[in-house]
Amino acid sequence: MHDPFTEAHTLFRKQVRSFTEREIAPHVDQWEKDKCFPTSLFKQAGEVGVFGAHYPEDVGGAGGDFWMSIVKAEELARGGAAGVTMGLLVQADMATPCINDLGTPEQRREFLAPAIAGDRVAALGVSEPGAGSDVAALRTTARLVGDEYVINGAKTFITNGTRCDFVTLMVKTDPDAGHAGISIILCPSDVKGFAVSRALEKAGNWSSDTAELFFEDVRVPKRYLLGKPGMGFVYLMQNFQSERLVGCASGLAGAKLALDRSVEWGRERTVFGKPLIKREYWQQKFVELYTKYEAAKALSYKAIDAYNDEKYVKGGMLSMETTKLVSMAKAYVGDVTGEIMDQCVQFHGGMGYLEELWVARAWRDQRLLRIGGGATEVMRYATAKIMGFG
């Protein structure tokens, strides 16, 4: 595959790496204890272009391609806390892409531009207590009354949910039409009837806030409907692809960091009179893990290149072939990075199981990659359908 990175990508990489080393890495231990990173980080990230590098200049972006998002995802992972990365990536690549794609000029000015600047915090409202990967089963409704939508329902597992200024919200505008009755509405959080039911305690990604949201007769203007009514499911399936790809990039970058740090530790750790990395078993194991990392990265980059070509170069809808590649990459990267993190814990022995060492956090943070953005089983089921197996 050709080298996708230009001089502009390289300069942006240096910029995000400097930001990560300066504003994130020194603080992650405290933010993990606090179970949240400061909201002010959104503004800091916006000021250095973290959210807007791949968005048009007319909304405050830099006009770059999707590889800019991959650069950002890879460099933010170097901060050493996936929770921070996830909170920022939700803002950049999960809650806002469909606003850029579908939004009216007014919607893009009101919601997208301030999100890119870091002035407003965004969340994506899809999952519900009874509808996770099965998006078509969601029950939150939005009923058109005059010039307003009246929203009732609940959402769960919402990253940035405790402090978001708006939610890109999946709702049923026609409850009897199945997935054809789903629409997307931009819902500010300062409206009457919107509430954070509770903050959720997670097994990993502690430094990102995750919430359950409740909507009781929430009224928003009809003009906050994003795109066409009833097309939300189609829009979301396209939107999911970018989420999955930045997840792959971030997960692989975190796995590479764990591998490198483990090998470095193994050179210093002496067991039975010899550095641990000098033991043949671990030499073989790390060669295997690095090989799987390279294979997973190659598959991901192939999917990213196809996505970038179809979405940013040609400006069209994604083909089934590209969707298949994305699903394959998401499932494979989840498995590979899970194995890498597990073996890194094993390599550290008892110390690897202590919270005081970075590897325990890396291990529990990674586990979400096989669930969030489409569970591994769903990715393989989707791939099987595209390949005509079902």
* Residues forming the active site: 243
Partnered with residue 184 across adjacent β-strands are 170, 226
Q: Nearest Cα to 209, choosing from 174, 160, 271?
A: 160
CB of 367 within 8 A of CB of 338? yes
Q: What three-state secondary structure class fits 170?
A: strand
C-alpha distances (whole Å) from 361 to each of 203, 336, 345, 376 are: 10, 17, 10, 21
H or E segment and range at residue 159 = strand 148-159
DSSP state of 58: G
User: What secondary structure does DSSP assign to 224-252, as a single string?
Assistant: GEESSTT-HHHHHHHHHHHHHHHHHHHHH
Q: How far apart are CA 89 and CA 355, in angstroms?
A: 25
Rounded to the nearest angstrom, the gap between the alpha carbon of residue 254 and the centroid of all alpha carbons in its chain is 13
